[in-house]
Amino acid sequence: MCSTRVPTAALALARRTLLATTAGLALLAAAPAQAQEAQIKFQLDWRFEGPSAFFLWPVSKGHFKQEKLAVTIDAGNGSGNAVNRVASGTYDMGFADLAALMEFHANNPTAPNKPVAVMMVYNNTPAAVFSLKKTGIKSPADLTGKKLGAPVFDAGRRAFPVFQKVNNVGPVNWVSMDPPLRETMLAKGDVDAVTGFYFTSMLNLEARGVKAEDVAVMLYPSHGVKLYGNAIIASQEMITKRPEVVRAFLRAFARAARDVVANPKAAVAVVKERDGIINAALEERRLRLAIQSSIATADARKEGFGQVDSPRLALMASQVADAYATKSRVNPDAVWNGSFLPKPEDLDIFSAARK
């Protein structure tokens, strides 16, 4: 009987070829998974307006794609709804007033998926009281006994008890209406004053023929109310199961925020691409007012963009619990998680604001 022996060198070569082929096939199989973008559904607090540029810019300019994210941005209809939709799991992340998030936590202590704020965007609340100068309302105390108007869910109205307490304002009479009627009723004299976001109600009054110089504005932050405004929120599932995706989103957003602050005009052009019926000139003004009043503020420069001050956050938690008459007290440590924020140097968007 005869046998055939394969040379050792030939065996070694065959083995190396097999290993190389197997490794190559493994890499090819893994490539699609590695290249796959993480999907994020994001809920805005309101319709597409100037400030939406902060979220639409990174989509349009590829900032999210650079972080291997596929982000869908949807318009909203109020902070409360944005919080609820993230809590329900319909959306992964959102943009909402921190007070609305605090209210949800305190009123739903056993909810399985309570969203958490991961980046502060409006360091100062945009809430303000508007009146016509001809009414003679010059200070908060002059509001006592007056007829104030706002939708029942308006952030400024919800937080008015805080403004009221800080400024020793007596009882007022509230008139409720749908959002489109708020500034119309003030212009017609049906109410003495209204509450609303500064960059919304101011422009709406002008659109109704009221001159800016005829409007008296009391910004909450200028009258002792240091409430935080809107923040980026994330679901519990995102935080626990996809923390790197949250970090990637915030990195991309921070880069975009710097671009938007540096060039509001170009930023609004991106909003126009998404919603062709907007008035670009009007929305550029709205965006600039938002940056001036709520984003690039003295408080934000002191604390750092995206971040919060712990004592200030704790005070707000107490004020919101009182003003909103929540079922339980607000735990500031439960509503905020700053561990996903980019590095401080990546959060420096204010050098652009000084240009």
Walk along the chain (355 residues) in steps of 10 and give the mean pLDDT of each run: 49 52 50 72 96 98 98 95 97 98 97 96 98 97 98 94 97 96 97 97 95 97 97 97 98 98 98 96 97 97 97 98 96 98 94 54
Task: Give the residue from 354, 271, 257, 263 showing the smallest Cα distance to 306.
Answer: 257
How confident is the model at residue 2, as a pLDDT? 45
Which of these, 80, 73, 232, lies nearest to 157 by C-alpha position? 80
The answer for residues whose C-beta is within 8 angstroms of residue 262's C-beta and 6 or more apart is 352, 353, 355
The per-residue pLDDT for 31 is 46
pLDDT at residue 5, as a whole number: 52
φ and ψ at residue 285, rounded to 5 degrees: -60, -40
User: Nearest 5°: CA angle at 130, between 268 and 163?
Assistant: 105
Domains along the sequence of the chain with CATH: 38-124+228-353 (3.40.190.10), 127-223 (3.40.190.10)
CA distance to 150, 161, 252, 280, 312, per residue, from 84 (Å)? 22, 24, 25, 31, 25
